Amino acid sequence: MRELCFSHVDVVYGSGKDAITALDNLDFTVSDGESVAIIGPSGCGKSTTLRLASGLLRPSAGTTTIDGSPIQGPRASTALILQDFGLLPWKTVRANAELGLKIRHVPRGERKERASEALQLVGLEEFADAYPGSLSGGMRQRLALARALALDVDLLLMDEPLSALDALLREQLQDTLLSLWRKEGYAQILVTHSIDEAVYLGQRIYVMAPRPGHVVTVVQNEDAGDEAYRQSGEFFARCNEVRELLRQAGGGGSHA
C-alpha cells in the first residue's frame, strides 16, 4: 500500500426523516508506514472512518481509495482490531491467531508457522493451546495483534484497542504497539478517546467532532514514534494543545 485516501466522504445511515449523517465531507489520507491517530468524543464518526478503511462500509458520497483504486470490500493485507478484540472464544489461542490465514485458505503448514511467529512476536507462544477465556485482558489484546500480524498486513486499523485495560497495562501495550509498528513497518490508524494515547502514537492526529461527524483539525506530531517522547515537555505541551482543540470543538475529551 502506498496511500489510503478518502476524498469528500459522506456517510449517511438510514434514509428519509430518520437519516443520520455520521460523517460529513471527510478528507483523510494515510501514507505507507505512517501512524495516524483519530480522536474525538463518541458519535464523531471515528469508528465509521475505520469501517470505511476496512471495507466493511461503503461511503454514501465521495470516494475511498487505496493506491488509486476504490475500496470494494475487505482487503487481504488490511487488518481490523475491534474494541472487544473480536476473538473467537471457542478457538484456542493458536487457532485464533491462524484465523485470518485459514479464511484465506493458506495451507496448514504455512498457517501454523506464521501464527507461531506472530504469537512469538507478542509473547504468547507458551499459551498457544489455551482458550481466550483463560487469558487476561492484556493478553487478549496481544492475541488480537498476533492475529493481525500473522497476515503480513500493510495497514492495521484499531478501534479503541486499549480502552478496556487499566492505566499501567495500557501504557505497556502502547509501547508494544509502538515497537511492533516500528519493526514491521505497516501503516496504522488508531481510533482512541484518550489524548495521551493519540499523542504518543499518532504522527498525525485527526481531531474530530460530532453532529455530524467531521474533522476539526489535523495536528502534526512528528515527534511521535519514540519511547522517550512520553517523558518530554513537548509531549505534555502537545497533549494540552489537543485537549484545547477538543474543548473548542465542543465535545471534550473524556480523559487524558
Among 12-20, 83-91, 113-121, 236-244, the segment contacting another protein (CB under 8 A): 83-91
Q: What is the per-residue burial (b if ≥16 Cβ within 10 Å, else e) of 58-68?
A: ebeebebebee
90 binds another protein (CB under 8 A): yes
What distance in Å separates the CA atoms of residue 116 and residue 174, rounded to the nearest whole number? 22
137 binds another protein (CB under 8 A): no
107 binds another protein (CB under 8 A): no
What distance in Å separates the CA atoms of residue 112 and residue 120, rounded to the nearest whole number? 12
Q: Among 40, 41, 45, 132, which residue interacts with another protein (rule: CB under 8 A)? A: 132
164 binds another protein (CB under 8 A): no
Rg (Cα) of the chain, in Å, rounded?
18
Query: What residues contact 89, with CB distance under 8 A and at least 6 apart?
Result: 131, 132, 133
Given a contact cutoff of 8 angstroms between Cβ atoms, the answer to whether 205 and 221 are in contact is yes
Among 22-30, 92-100, 179-187, 218-226, the segment contacting another protein (CB under 8 A): 92-100
* Amino acid letter, residue 93: V
87 binds another protein (CB under 8 A): yes
4 binds another protein (CB under 8 A): no
Residue 58 phi/psi, 5-degree rounding, is -105, 145
214 binds another protein (CB under 8 A): no
Among 25-33, 67-75, 197-205, 239-247, the segment contacting another protein (CB under 8 A): 67-75
CA atoms within 13 A on the CB side of 77: 13
Q: Which is nearer to another protein, 83 or 116 (CB)?
A: 83
Q: Which is nearer to another protein, 13 or 90 (CB)?
A: 90
With cell 487524558, the residue in question is 256
Interface residue list for another protein (CB under 8 A)? 54-56, 73-76, 78-80, 82-92, 99-100, 103-104, 130-134, 151
